[in-house]
Structures are given as structure tokens and as C-alpha cells.
Amino acid sequence: MKNRAVFLDRDGVINQVILKNGRPHPPTSLKNLKIIPGVKEAISRLKEAGFIIIVVSNQPDVARGTLDRKNVEEINRWLGYKLLIDSFMICYHDDSDMCSCRKPRPGMLVSAAKQWQLDLTGSFMVGDRWKDISAGNAANCTTLFINYGYNEEQPESSDYIVGSLFEAANLILGDKNAQ
């Protein structure tokens, strides 16, 4: 039997983003990292239900030279420890690199599926940007878009629109009180 996963984007899904001109940016260190309320409970409930929790995150600021890779890895280690995340798949490339791992391409999800023996059609992708949702759609996952109204392109289609990871977990777990 294959496993099922909940893929999570990191910035904006697990931790708060830093907004600049209505556009989201990642925290640059543990000092400015803040976990979004309800995230720890949502992940705990998903894990209790048997889902593997995998973070799939684009971190292009490393390729652009505006963020140090060791800071990204330090944040990930801390989040993994605090939230009991099973795996982190990170793309450090910029759009111009044309790699297969950078969302909206599904490379990180497909790679994780091989590593964890996942059924992608029984898995979920939760993200706050169009690239997250496009990657989830390309991998045949059920997609849940957290709509913060960023000043940028919106997803063409997602299976659900929610206000938080907590709401997304309720939908995934079939909670009758989910919005």
C-alpha cells in the first residue's frame, strides 16, 4: 500500500511572510521567523491521521545572493524539530535556471513520491501562491490554496480555497465544521 502525504509550501503556509509592496518574502533568519497560529495543531492532526508531512519550498533568494543557504537550512531544522515535519524538499534555483524542481514544475513532489512511496493522487498540496497550486495540479494532488490576496498572479484553478493551514487540515480530514 502506498503512503499519502500533505505537501506544504513553507513561507505563508507554515510561517508568516514578510510583505513588501503586497508581495510575500521569506524570513531571513530565526530572528524574524514566526509560525502561523494553528499550524502546529494542524500538522499534528494530519500526522495522527497517517499523512507524511513534506515541505516543498522554492528559495530563489539563495541563487540571487540575497539570502544565505545556511539561514534557510537553520530555519528548516528548527521548523522540523518544532513541528515534527517528515521531510524538506528545497529548490534553491531561480526561474532562469529552468530546473525541474522549481515550482510550478512538480519535480519536488515527484521526487518525494519516489523517496516515500507516495500515492500522489491520494495526496494534497497546500500553498499560498499560484506556483504551489500549479505544481500540485501537475502532480495530480488535491490542491488547497490559502488566499491572502497577495498583489501577484493567482492560481488558475485549485480544488479548494481556504484561509489557513488549519482550515486546510479540517477539509483534508473531512471535518464537518470546515469552511
Instruction: For residue 17, give the C-alpha cell.
Output: 511572510
What is the spatial distance between Cα 17 and Cα 15, in angstroms, rounded to a whole number?
6
Other CB atoms within 10 Å distance of the CB of residue 7: 32
Please identify every residue annotated as catalytic.
9, 11
Instruction: For residue 5, give the C-alpha cell.
Output: 502525504
